[in-house]
Amino acid sequence: MTESQYTPPLPGRASTQCFCCHSTDLEREWAATSPFFAQRALCRHPQAIMLIKCLGCGTRYFDFSPTKDELDRLYAGYRRSEYFVQRNSFEPWYTRAVNDDLGAEVQMQMRRAVLRDALEEHGITKHFENILDHGGDKGQMLRELRAKTKAVYDISGVPPEEGVIALDQTQIKEIPWDLILSCHVLEHLPDPQSYLEELVALGRPGTIYFFEVPDESFRSFGLSASSLQKRWIGWLAKRIFAFKVFDFLSTACRVKLRVLPPLGFVALREHLSFFSTLGMSRLFQENQLKILSVKIRASGHICAVAMKAAAN
């Protein structure tokens, strides 16, 4: 692959207004495609890209829209051996323990407890007829729920847990769902709005929805929007060891301190959007959902409970 194959700019998302609240009051700062994402999904070198922040609702999202083929390459064999080895080679802090702990039972127990508490908070404790975990891996979130039918839809094709059936895209449209879960899906999507429209179409008036996304809020400094920042990221992109060092420092400060330091940057690895509670509320209101609650729960994630409203 020649250097010229890396030079065209990456395709952007519609960036004139926020996809959550439709505000046009937007700020932009320079971020980067991580070496792992750039190599695995894009087959090119890392480069500077724009990160957009909506001043209306606080949602952030990359001004970049990966294709289906690029996403398929990224998530092929997700978190399995080849995925881990490639990612660890660029991100030494992404250890085997980190990889294996994602979705591990200790975390799942806490997340299931949050789901139970969120439903009970709104008096939703009944025995369901049909529940669906959309994008739910093996359906681990369904383990403690009572239902006649527990189903999962997931593109990974992994075998579901005992008591859970795996359905395809056609089959999930044929069942009247009482409860639909979507956990850690929205942040991975280039078009959350279209996904949400499809998900709402699976329900009927009165269907309950539970959403879960990471809380990845942070503050950044004015330098992040400067031409100096773009040149700095471009310089780092040609020096992978230096990129690794500043990527680690930037990520540690952003995750642990909720601050992006001067000359720090956000690297695109998997998450294309960083949601806020207000942004999620506005997004759901646009999609025929009555919001029961949207807040940061004990798991540290933003969780939303909503109900499909009757059509006007």
Residue in the structure block whose two tokens are 């978190």: 79
Classified as helix, coil or strand, 141 is helix
First to last CA, the chain: 55
Give pLDDT, residue 9: 58
Give pLDDT, residue 132: 98
Cβ-count burial 150-176 (b if 16+ within 10 Å, e if not): bbbbbeeeeebbeebebbeeeebeeee
Residue spans of the domains in the chain: they are 3-102+217-270, 105-214+278-308
Q: Are 33 and 268 in contact (CB under 8 A)?
A: yes
Give pLDDT, residue 157: 78
Q: What count of residues does the chain have?
A: 312
Query: Which bin fits 125, alpha (ψ -120 to 50), beta or left (φ > 0)?
Result: alpha
Provide the pLDDT confidence category of residue 5 given band limits of 50, 70 and 90.
Answer: very low
Q: Answer whether residue 144 shows pLDDT above 70.
A: yes
Residue in the structure block whose two tokens are 């030079």: 7
The pTM is what? 0.92
Q: Answer whether residue 289 shows pLDDT above 50.
A: yes
Give pLDDT, residue 7: 42
Which of 3.40.50.2300, 2.30.110.10, 3.90.1280.10, 3.40.50.150 would CATH assign to domain 105-214+278-308?
3.40.50.150
Q: Please state, rounded to an integer, the average pLDDT across all residues of the chain.
A: 92
Give pLDDT, residue 4: 33
Tens digit of pLDDT for each residue in 105-143?
888 999 999 999 999 999 997 789 999 999 999 999 999
Provide the pLDDT confidence category of residue 100 given band limits of 50, 70 and 90.
Answer: confident
